[in-house]
Amino acid sequence: MKKFLALLLALVMVIGLAACGEPAGNESQAPASAPAGNSEAPESGEPVAEGPELSADGRYPAETVKIGFVNYDTTAQQFLSLQDYFDYLDDYFNFEIMYSESLDSAEAEFAFIEQCAAAGCQGIIGYYNEGREESVKLASSLGMYYWGQGQDPNVQEACGDDPYYLGSYYVGNADYEYGKSVIDSLVAADCHKIIVVTGGKDFGVQMFIDRYQGMMDAIQEAQDGGYDIEVVYEVPGWPGTEDFTAEQTSALATDADGLASALSALMWIQPISAAGKMNSIKIAAVDTPTADMVDLMASGLFVGVAAEIPDVFGLGVPMIINAVQGYGEEQRNEDGTAPLIDCGFWLITTAEEMEYYSEIEQEGGTWCFDADDVRSILYDYNPELTLDDMSALYSAVTMEEIQARR
Amino acid sequence: MKKSWETIRNYFPIFGFVIVVVFFSIATKGAILSGTSLQSLLNQAIATALVSIGSVFVFGCGCFDMSMGGTLCMTAVLGGYAGIASGSIFVMALACLATALVLSLLKGLFAAYVEVPLFIVTIVLGFVLSALVLVIMGTETTILLNDAVKPIPSFNFTQMSAINIVALAGFFIVCVILFNFTALGRKVKILGGNPVTARQTGLNSVNIKLISFIISGVGVALAALVALLRIRSVGSTYGADMGTDVMIALVLGGMPLTGGPRTRISAGIIGALTITVLNSGLSMLGLDLAIIQIFRAVIYLAVVYVASMTYRTNLLPR
Amino acid sequence: MNEDKLIIETRQLCKNFGPTIALNHVDLKIYRGQITGLIGENGSGKSTITSILAGMQPASSGEMFFKGKPHKPSTMIEGAALGIGMIVQEQGYVSGISIAQNIFLGEEGRFRRHGIISRSAMVKAAQEALNNIGCNDIDASWYIEQIDLQDRKLVELARVMASNPEVLVVDETTTALSQRGRSIIYDIMRRMRDEDKAVIFISHDLDELMEVCDRMVVLRDGNLITDLDKPEFEPNLIKRHMVGRDMGEKYYREDYDGTVSDEVVLDVDNVTSGSGLLINFSMQVHKGEILGIGGLSHCGMHELGKVVFGEEKILTGSVTHVPSGQKIRDARHAIKLGMGYVSKDRDHEALVLSASIRDNISSAGLDKINDGPFILPNKEKAYVNQQVQTLSIKCASINQNVQYLSGGNKQKVVFGKWIGRDCDILILDCPTRGVDVGVKAAMYALIDDMKRQGKTIIMISEELAELIGMADRLLILKDGSLAGEFQRSRQLTEHEIIECMI
């Protein structure tokens, strides 16, 4: 009897799937031009195109745009900042984010993307991407736009022409640039003997390999320019291990005057202080701006911090909204491929900058790209919008540039 | 007709499944029953279901295998490498099958001949397999099927669903036949129920265990293959949760993890579907992430409680 | 009887296990100053009613009164606190701890001195409890494993008596005891009676009950059949009440023809067993023979059964299945050669308790009911149903779990496993242990029947009466070696055999 019930259920599922296979197939075939959603908006004399007064209440777009957010660590600082940023934008625009849990495999990522489709999401922001182009293809086959992961050439190559792939932000090779700018700030601070903290480079972690490469190239460039600089010690691995602590001690026993770190350098302060070198060593690191670091910059211990801007991932929201509102075509490169929008990162060298950046990037802050900025890259508000406008906005990230927009 | 408690208890897993489905249908306003969602559920359930169905034999005969996750990961990784090296689905499938069978046979031999409790052996084996996967993959964290020497055909969402249904239905039917319509299932139940009785009844426990592990190996191989075809990549952490998922699935499916007479094939499939609906449903509700974790913890605790209830031996007078 | 002496009364007490009715509206009265015997076949409800009284399980319906007050203990501890002490048939001790700890299990607090439990005080009190029941030779500081099963039962008795119960329930305990143990228990029961307390004594052994009890209550199929005072005790009458029909005289085999064919089917040659309980033992078993094996406990007779079946490792010598000329390697091999084995430890070795009657019976006959590689449920059911009918196993359905069956019915299921296979050689280790008269008679008839069909039976038993009654030839073991051999004869007496055993 029980077996019959089990078989019956299985049968029901199979029939259900067979019956539903059809519409799903149709959906995935619907291409480019006007995917589901209200395409009347732009055609009917642009009733919403007038701008700010329409939107401060979060009623645009008329129908809530649901977006899935693929995440790998729900406790990461940057993610938490980003969540605050989305909460902030939510007051101004009618969208909803469905966050994944901490995903750790392509399998889990696929499952989440499928759940998003089932829950009625119209777009996916790929903050984490293990399945690479397959994730994009999956979202596309489920009729959802996918934004993110532009740095991966495979994704560009395999999905660049897919109307559901919306491209990504682009910082060149961001990690390489971070590494480079860390060394540049040490050079600017007149450091010659450098300790390099390489993080996961020796463990095959790509971002650290890139950062390291950036550092080495910057050193080479400086030497080529006649500047006297050398690496006196390399510290691999992550803090919190005994090895790391031992390496710190050995490194500080050298006559180094600069420390370039591929990861946060806060755990160096105490050992440096213990070694009595607070005044003889300068630090530059890849890190996130925080209020704590203001004093460290002011004291001159920290001379440069290269930082990713959490808001940058927020670009996915306006781009998905644009696509849902029927501007998929306008939002593409001339050859029809998905665009990579140039975005900046921060190289913080003064306490003033540090204070400013750390304050804007927190709940209640003003953010790097506020609601008005985002509004300016929505076609319904700004029919004249071009991809260059987007790049221009997202590249203008220095303190002066942000203040100029306010 | 008066039904005994035993009989009613047999229907619990189905009640549980129906309750979970009904609950999330209402909570998601039917979204979980949409076509896309059902296909998606099947995609997610498939690996757990295939592995769980195979595991029914293993757990049924009293072998507590904690290394299902490691086995699945190793199988998928070696299968993936074979696929990349050959560019052929067929070779990939063969590699999956070979890996899974070799690992399963190894476990089977341990279970049959070594006196150390199997769950300890398999916990260790699970660690060893995970470590080996890392060694094999070296600095890579993910291997991609798209790097194959010849393109391996890719399947879209709907085609994948069809492949899933065929694989799952095929394996399920074969296992149902093996378990219910051959001597194997009966032997598994007796062996799991009381090894001494099994020996005195002339059952060959070595054979039974080896065959059980081989069947579970086929399930693992199928799961790895289907996953490779769908995800087209394998990470070094793939299958990490499979060990616990399988056990939870079996318990939700209504069989004790100690095996024995209450072993049933349906436990694998019903349990896998229940746990998948549960996970997807929670995720689709869009609840706060912390709340999802709490919700899940409560359900797992309930499962553990129910599982422990089945261990309780009733001392009833004659 | 004087109603002032009434201590326990049940009114319309009922108990169901699923579809099985264990007690059917039973009105039982127990009086002070009396030893009340409860007798009935297995499954008649004797143990059920006492376990409800003691708080091991609740009744389905009905009322109980203890000393005139409503009585509804929810646990055995509560029952014991009220004054009902019970010694059960099953293992009633905890392994791995000392005898003293067993006696005061759950009452360790009594020996707390400044927060620390005083071991010596506990041992002292335990020793007193043991001495009190006349077991001065058991040392309370020993671990429970250091004493044999019989003495462990006595430890349980000491524990129960240490709490000074007003009602003592002795459930089938004496089957596990020797004469010495029995006399200790009888003394305790009589002492209780003389102290104007009540005793409920459950046993299969009618002779024992007739000797010890002042009153006997007969139960059958959950119904209270009759209530007899000492002058009314009459064996045949009681048996008739128990079984519900006339037993007749036939019980054991009627013929005294002990001749068997010369054809040897099993040759045990100079075997020393792995456990060391069997030393350089040789014997030959003939076709169509009922070979009885007897002896005291630890004489090696149970090991002999296992050795013949290939279940116990042998260090030297061999067991040969003569018709095939093969030496028996293991149980599987023995079964292939047409042998079957009914273990003494039914619940732990012969049956999967949590499995159904169907699974248990078919498990030994899977190669008899297959169609090629397949086993079709209909054929399996027919096979099992046939055994159930042949042995008249009482059950609601063949899908019922074995654990809920009575001892006799469980044993029938074990027999069913081997009879279905049509074994040529059947080794029975204590086949009628814990089985009541009705089932016993049926089994003796069955064994006789198999002999007539030319099958060979090795019957190992602790009951001399059944060995004398059934065996063509009787081997008595002592310390792992043959101590005597007796041919079937009307003149054979227990006395002669006991002489040989000791």
Encode pLDDT of A292-342 as tens digits.
889 999 998 999 999 888 888 889 999 999 999 999 888 899 888 889 888
Instruction: Answer whether A147's CB lies under 8 Å from A124's CB.
Output: yes
The pLDDT score that the predictor gives to residue A405 is 84
Cα→Cα distances A227→A187, A218, A223, B276, C319, Å: 8, 11, 5, 61, 95
Local confidence band at C19 (pLDDT 50, 70, 90 cut-offs): low
Asked if C351's CB is within 8 angstroms of B194's CB, the reply is yes
Whether A117 is in a domain gets the answer yes
Instruction: Answer whether B200's CB lies under 8 Å from C350's CB.
Output: yes
The distance of C50 to chain B (nearest Cα, Å) reads 10
Q: Using CA coordinates, name the residue in chain A closest to B172.
A: A7
* Cβ–Cβ contact B6 with C under 8 A: yes
* Cβ–Cβ contact B5 with C under 8 A: yes
The pLDDT score that the predictor gives to residue B305 is 73
Asked if B5's CB is within 8 angstroms of C309's CB, the reply is no
Residues with Cβ within 8 Å of C107's Cβ and at least 6 positions away in sequence, in order, are none
Q: How far apart are CA B55 and CA B246, in angstroms?
A: 8
Range of the domain at B182: 35-307
Q: Is A260 helix (H, G, I), strand (E, B) or coil?
A: strand
- Closest of A303, A301, A314 to residue A378, by C-alpha: A314
Closest in B190, B200, B260 to C311, CB measured: B200
- Residue C16, amino acid: N
* Cβ–Cβ contact C417 with B under 8 A: yes
Please indicate, yes or no, whether residues A201 and A246 belong to a single structural domain of this protein: yes
Q: Using CA coordinates, name the residue in chain A closest to B226.
A: A107
φ, ψ for residue A122, nearest 5 deg? -105, -10
Local confidence band at A22 (pLDDT 50, 70, 90 cut-offs): very low
Asked if A100's CB is within 8 angstroms of B39's CB, the reply is no
Alpha carbon distance, N-terminus to C-terminus of chain B: 25
Please indicate, yes or no, whether residues A55 and A94 belong to a single structural domain of this protein: yes
Return the structure tokens found at B183.
Answer: 């001597």
The distance of B188 to chain A (nearest Cα, Å) reads 19
Q: How far apart are CA A212 and CA C163, in angstroms?
A: 80
Cα→Cα distances A402→A122, A315, A395, C276, Å: 31, 16, 10, 92
CATH number at residue A205: 3.40.50.2300
Residues with Cβ within 8 Å of A74's Cβ and at least 6 positions away in sequence, in order, are A99, A101, A102, B289
Q: How far apart are CA A211 and CA A348, in angstroms?
A: 17
Asked if B231's CB is within 8 angstroms of A131's CB, the reply is yes
Encode pLDDT of C291-345 as tens digits.
999 987 678 899 999 999 999 889 999 999 999 999 999 999 999 999 999 998 8
For the C3-243 domain, the top CATH level (class) is: alpha beta
Does pLDDT of A26 surpass 80? no
- Closest of B267, B242, B244 to residue B255, by C-alpha: B267
Q: How far apart are CA C485 and CA B204, in angstroms?
A: 37
| DSSP category for residue C83 | T
Asked if B34's CB is within 8 angstroms of A118's CB, the reply is yes
All residues of chain B having their beta carbon less than 8 Å from the beta carbon of residue A74 are: 289
Helices H, strands E: what count in chain C?
A: 16, 25
Asked if B202's CB is within 8 angstroms of C332's CB, the reply is yes
Local confidence band at A42 (pLDDT 50, 70, 90 cut-offs): very low
Asked if B142's CB is within 8 angstroms of A141's CB, the reply is no
Whether B12 is in a domain gets the answer no
Return the structure tokens found at B252.
Answer: 């939700």
Number of domains composing chain A: 2
Asked if B201's CB is within 8 angstroms of C417's CB, the reply is yes
Whether A354 is in a domain gets the answer no
Whether A353 is in a domain gets the answer no
**b/e map of A354-364 (b: 16 or more CB within 10 Å)?**
bbbbbebbbee
* Cβ–Cβ contact A28 with B under 8 A: yes
Q: How far apart are CA C57 and CA C150, in angstroms?
A: 26
Report CA dihedral (B197, B202, B206, B210) to the nearest 10 degrees. Answer: -100
Across B188-192, C72-76, C199-203, least confident range: C72-76
| DSSP category for residue C3 | G
Please indicate, yes or no, whether residues A93 and A203 belong to a single structural domain of this protein: no
| DSSP category for residue B224 | H
The residue with greater pLDDT, B197 or C245, is: B197
Return the structure tokens found at C189.
Answer: 């029961």
Whether A360 is in a domain gets the answer no
Which H or E run contains C327? strand C326-327
Mean pLDDT for the stretch of residues A178-199: 92
* Cβ–Cβ contact C364 with B under 8 A: yes
CATH of C249-338+424-502, one of 3.40.30.10, 3.90.180.10, 1.10.10.10, 3.40.50.300: 3.40.50.300
Across A44-58, A200-214, A342-356, C270-284, least confident range: A44-58
Does pLDDT of A2 surpass 50? no
Place of tokens 């203990």: C73
Residues with Cβ within 8 Å of B210's Cβ and at least 6 positions away in sequence, in order, are B105, B108, B109, B112
Sign of the four-CA dihedral C400, C401, C405, C411: positive
- Closest of B211, B266, B280 to residue B58, by C-alpha: B211
All residues of chain A having their beta carbon less than 8 Å from the beta carbon of residue B240 are: 104-105
Instruction: Answer whether C314's CB lies under 8 Å from C280's CB.
Output: no
- Give me the percent of chain C exceeding a pLDDT of 70: 96
- Closest of B107, B140, B137, B136 to residue B124, by C-alpha: B107
Asked if B317's CB is within 8 angstroms of C56's CB, the reply is yes
Cα→Cα distances C378→B181, C388, C466, Å: 11, 15, 38
- Residue A204, amino acid: G
Q: How far apart are CA C71 and CA C30, in angstroms?
A: 14
Place of tokens 């903050």: A127
- Please indicate whether the domains covering C3-243 and C249-338+424-502 agree at the CATH topology level: yes
Q: Are strands C69-70 and C61-66 parallel, antiparallel or unpaired?
A: antiparallel
The distance of B262 to chain C (nearest Cα, Å) reads 8
Strand order across the C326-327 sheet? C281-286, C264-273, C314-321, C326-327
Which H or E run contains A170? strand A168-170
Return the structure tokens found at C174.
Answer: 């004496």
Angle at CA of residue B203, ends B318 and C300, nearest 5°: 65
Q: How many CA atoms lie within 13 A of B24 on its CB side?
A: 29
Does pLDDT of A56 surpass 70? no
The distance of B219 to chain C (nearest Cα, Å) reads 21
Residues in chain A: 406
Range of the domain at A252: 174-307
Q: Around Cβ C81, how many Cβ atoms within 10 Å?
A: 12
CATH number at residue B53: 1.10.3470.10
Closest in A14, A98, A132 to B144, CB measured: A132
* Cβ–Cβ contact B29 with C under 8 A: no
All residues of chain A having their beta carbon less than 8 Å from the beta carbon of residue B43 are: 110-111, 114
Return the structure tokens found at A32.
Answer: 């480019």
The pLDDT score that the predictor gives to residue A146 is 94
Q: Using CA coordinates, name the residue in chain C closest to B193.
A: C352
Q: How far apart are CA C24 and CA B73, in angstroms?
A: 59
Radius of gyration of chain A (CA): 24
Q: Using CA coordinates, name the residue in chain B closest to C377.
A: B181
Please indicate, yes or no, whether residues A215 and A327 belong to a single structural domain of this protein: no
Tell how far CA A99 is from the center of its chain.
Answer: 15
Domain boundaries, chain C: 3-243, 249-338+424-502, 354-422
- Closest of A252, A244, A251, A304 to residue A277, by C-alpha: A252
All residues of chain B having their beta carbon less than 8 Å from the beta carbon of residue A8 are: none
Q: Using CA coordinates, name the residue in chain C closest to B178.
A: C374
Whether chain C lies against chain A with 3 or more Cβ pairs closer than 8 A is no
Helical pair A2-29 and B266-284, crossing angle rounded to 10 deg: 40
What ipTM describes this predicted complex? 0.86
Encode pLDDT of A232-270 as tens digits.
999 988 887 888 888 899 999 999 999 999 988 988 998
* Cβ–Cβ contact B35 with C under 8 A: no
- Give me the percent of chain A exceeding a pLDDT of 90: 31
Asked if A28's CB is within 8 angstroms of B36's CB, the reply is no
The distance of B62 to chain A (nearest Cα, Å) reads 23
Encode pLDDT of A273-305 as tens digits.
888 888 899 999 998 888 888 999 999 899 999
Q: Using CA coordinates, name the residue in chain B closest to A137.
A: B156
Q: Around Cβ C31, how many Cβ atoms within 10 Å?
A: 19
Helices H, strands E: what count in chain B?
A: 12, 2
* Cβ–Cβ contact B262 with A under 8 A: no
φ, ψ for residue C262, nearest 5 deg? -80, -10
Instruction: Answer whether C21's CB lies under 8 Å from C219's CB.
Output: no
Number of domains composing chain B: 1
- Closest of A286, A272, A269, A257 to residue A191, by C-alpha: A257
Q: Is B150 helix (H, G, I), strand (E, B) or coil?
A: coil
Q: Using CA coordinates, name the residue in chain B closest to C309.
A: B200
φ, ψ for residue A196, nearest 5 deg? -110, 125
Interface partners of chain A (CB pairs < 8 Å, 3 or more) are: B
Asked if A130's CB is within 8 angstroms of B233's CB, the reply is yes
The distance of B170 to chain C (nearest Cα, Å) reads 18
Across A150-159, C343-352, C464-473, least confident range: A150-159
| DSSP category for residue B153 | P
Across A38-42, A130-134, A304-308, C447-451, least confident range: A38-42
Please indicate, yes or no, whether residues A60 and A164 belong to a single structural domain of this protein: yes
Q: How far apart are CA A341 and CA B96, in angstroms?
A: 42
Local confidence band at C396 (pLDDT 50, 70, 90 cut-offs): confident
Task: Looking at C91-178, list the stretches that DSSP marks H as alpha helix, in order from N- to C-terminal side.
Answer: 99-103, 119-132, 149-162
Whether B2 is in a domain gets the answer no
Instruction: Answer whether C99's CB lies under 8 Å from C147's CB.
Output: yes
Closest in B2, B200, B317 to C51, CB measured: B317
- Closest of C97, C77, C85, C108 to residue C158, by C-alpha: C85
* Cβ–Cβ contact B205 with C under 8 A: no
All residues of chain C having their beta carbon less than 8 Å from the beta carbon of residue B205 are: none
Q: How far apart are CA C335 and CA C90, in angstroms?
A: 30
The distance of A328 to chain B (nearest Cα, Å) reads 23
pLDDT mean across residues, chain C? 87
- List A98's β-bridge partners, or say none: A68
The distance of C494 to chain B (nearest Cα, Å) reads 31
Asked if B317's CB is within 8 angstroms of C377's CB, the reply is no
φ, ψ for residue B55, nearest 5 deg? -65, -20
Sign of the four-CA dihedral B222, B225, B226, B227: positive
Report CA dihedral (B6, B12, B14, B15) to the nearest 10 degrees. Answer: 130
Whether B213 is in a domain gets the answer yes
Q: Using CA coordinates, name the residue in chain A closest to B38.
A: A17
Q: For chain B, list residues with pLDDT below 70.
A: 1-7, 304, 306-318
Instruction: Answer whether A105's CB lies under 8 Å from B69's CB.
Output: no
The pLDDT score that the predictor gives to residue A229 is 93
Which H or E run contains C371? strand C370-371
* Cβ–Cβ contact B115 with C under 8 A: no
The pLDDT score that the predictor gives to residue A103 is 83
φ, ψ for residue B195, nearest 5 deg? -60, -35
